[in-house]
């Protein structure tokens, strides 16, 4: 059974790599949000609504996914021998 799982998942490594990059992107965006929040509060301009920052962050993450998804699908199909 494990051989089947390993063989099946090895072809999808680029997808996992993209997911890992997405998580790193979210962490970086959250850190940037915290820095912006602290700087705005320190100069007295108030706080940024976290919902706005979350929407912008998620849009950027999904835009990156959309950009790389076609290339990753093509790479997976090439590894599986199903190039169109």
Residue pLDDT, tens place only, 12-49:
666 667 777 777 777 887 788 778 777 777 777 776 77
pLDDT above 60 for 84: no
For the chain, the structural domain boundaries read 23-79
What local confidence, expressed as pLDDT, does residue 1 receive? 55
Q: What is the mean pLDDT of residues 61-66?
A: 73
**Helix-strand-coil split of the chain, %, nearest 5:** 85, 0, 15
pLDDT above 70 for 3: no
pTM of the model: 0.46
pLDDT above 70 for 83: no
């Amino acid at each position: 059974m494990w051989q089947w799982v390993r063989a099946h998942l090895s072809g999808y490594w680029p997808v996992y790599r993209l997911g890992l990059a997405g998580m790193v992107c979210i962490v970086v965006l959250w850190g940037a949000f915290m820095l912006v929040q602290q700087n705005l509060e320190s100069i007295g301009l108030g706080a940024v609504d976290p919902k706005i920052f979350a929407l912008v962050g998620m849009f950027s993450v999904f835009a990156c996914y959309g950009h790389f998804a076609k290339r990753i699908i093509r790479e997976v199909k090439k590894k599986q021998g199903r190039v169109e």
